[in-house]
Chains A and B, each alone.
Chain A
Amino acid sequence: MAQEQDTQGMDYLVSLPRRVVTVYVPMFLFLFVLLFPFYWMVVTSFKPNEELISREGNPFWVVAPTLSHFKKLLFQTEYPQWMWNTMLVAVVATFLSLAASVFAAYAIERLRFRGAHQTGLAIFLAYLVPPSILFIPLAAMVFKLGLFDTRFALILTYPTFLIPFATWLLMGYFRSIPYELEECALIDGASRWQILTKIILPLAVPGLISAGIFAFTLSWNEFIYALTFIQSSENKTVPVGVVTELVEGDVYHWGALMAGALLGSVPVAIVYSFFVEYYVAGMTGAVKE
């Protein structure tokens, strides 16, 4: 908190009119541009079709709000199924990756086995490999393994970008835990396993939450693997389902599309709103190291 106070710095020296022009006005413009698409999503998803295609009147407001787009989405499409798929894949992939990452990060950072340094470097390099380079050979593999068009294909491939990220983040957290704690426990006769579960993990809970939240949103937002590996509608995730199934030929159901985009964004937004601090810590922590 003391640091929060410090960041005020010399701002009090700047006069109010000057602050309005140099700080408040640009800040307001930034917020307006960053938030407008969301406002537009909400407005569009409640507009009846006549209002959507009318050029008269004020488009920024809804005259006769309707829930018909949401009804169509929930009862005439497989949207609820996509929602369930996305949730399932994101949660399982997150837990799988977190479990693997905790062990890997502890081994690299604390056990310091032979080659730990090189392994840490390899993990960082793996973090830099973008999915756009991997999806074609992965598609060939998924096909051969008989996993094509299954959710299992996504659960197995999402850890390729989640594990490097989560391991890197957790390594930073483990580094901040004093060695002395472990040494004391070793002298008292604790095994490595006991040290990990009784000392390190409880202290690394904030790091685990950060990594978990970040991994969850990354899996929820994943697009290219889900687009490539899934074919049938009932196995699709929300982003892919909305993009590929709600557009029929040249007829765009803008209301339903926006409603789908809105509902698909709500779960990540909720998770995010509860854990903003952890999310920011995860994001900046992964970059800072």
Chain B
Amino acid sequence: MDRLLNNRHFLGLAFMLPAAVLLLLFLTYPLGLGVWLGFTDAKIGREGVWVGLENYEFLFGDSVARLALFNTLFYTIAASIIKFVLGLWLALLLNKHLPFKAFLRAIVLLPFIVPTALSAIAFWWLYDAQFSVLSWTLTKLGWIDRYIDFLGDPWNARWSVIAANVWRGVPFIAITLLAGLQTISPSLYEAAAIDGATPWQQFWNVTLPLLTPIIAVVMTFSVLFTFTDFQLIYVLTRGGPLNSTHLMATLAFQRAIPGGALGEGSALAVAMVPFLLAAILFSYFGLQRRKWQQGGTDN
């Protein structure tokens, strides 16, 4: 018995057991079940029968589902680009020698740690058609003469939810990129400065190349979470107006849970997987760590 307990293969499997059981039961199995459900016409409270690709064919012809795909792509691309630019900028600012540096860093992260559903409620109130303080301020400044209908017009609503998503996502990107920035040795900048590089050249030729690996990881996560976003949309618009902010996740929820069509909802959720895989592969192969960044040579 003692020898068995000190055998690393046996002990390793025994130690893996709790995590493995939980993950296989509540992650791997549902993942497979989701794919299966997507091929059935299951409803809540009723076992489905195999219908082949019928759900996918239906969704392909469904204008709301196609709109949701467009919305999701637009939301992900627009929000990710803005988050990346602002996040990198904020990281560079935080990397400067500032008073109360640690305190600033702690405060900056607040939007990220507060429950999204709850901060989304604050945005809901900020975007209110009648009592929005944003509209109030702009009116007083004389920039607009009518209150903006932030969530009532399709394109206004799209940009409003993107703004809320950016607000929440920028701190995460900034703080993780800051961690990457702090690993870059100041002597590299000194060398570049001695060679006559302007701050802008230092950024392009020193900072950015050295930061690429961590940017790749951070942006993969950011794209992943933006593409599958649910709570922000659910709280702010529930997909409206006229389905113009429905994302694939919110549409899947609406069809499957209140609508009861588990099969169709699962098909919608499964349809997100190829896009997620594409994003992961793109960042893995496109932006992965190059040898020269660690002092070797590319081959």
Contact = CB atoms under 8 A, between A and B. Distances in A.
Interface string A254-289: 100110110011001100110010011001100110
Contacts of A129: 27, 31
Interface residues of B, number: 104
Interface stretch (A72-80, A98-106, A202-210): A98-106
Q: Interface majority SS on B: helix, strand, loop or mixed?
A: helix
A30 B34 contact: no
A251 interface: no
Interface in A45-101: 52-53, 55, 59-60, 99-101
Given A126-B23, A163-B23, A284-B176, A217 B113 contact: yes
Contacts of B125: 40, 44, 254, 257-258
Contact of A279 (B111, B113, B182, B193): B113
A134 B119 contact: no
A264 B115 CA distance: 8
B75 interface: no
Contacts of A128: 224, 276, 280
A34 B111 contact: yes
Contact of A140 (B42, B90, B179, B270): B42
Contacts of B16: 103-104, 107-108, 113, 119
A137 B11 contact: no
Contacts of A193: 5
B26 interface: yes
A106 B170 CA distance: 34
Interface in B229-259: 229-231, 234-235, 248-249, 252-253, 256-257
Contact of B225 (A100, A130, A167, A191): A130
A136 interface: yes
Nearest to A161: B27
Interface string B78-102: 0000000010011001111110001
Interface string B184-197: 00100110010000
Nearest to A133: B269
B175 A101 contact: no
A228 B269 CA distance: 15
B19 A167 contact: yes
B126 A37 contact: yes
B257 A27 contact: no
A243 interface: yes
Contact of A160 (B22, B104, B136, B218): B22
Contact of B107 (A35, A52, A242, A252): A35
A197 interface: no
A133 B266 CA distance: 8
B156 interface: no
Interface string B107-143: 1111101111111011101101011010010000000
A133 B31 contact: yes
Contacts of A135: 253, 269
B18 A221 contact: no
Nearest to B33: A137
Closest 7 CB pairs of A and B: A113-B12, A239-B117, A107-B15, A284-B179, A104-B19, A132-B249, A130-B228
Given A126-B27, A134-B30, A137-B33, 10 more contacts: A7-B95, A40-B133, A44-B125, A103-B16, A104-B15, A133-B273, A134-B27, A141-B30, A242-B121, A280-B105
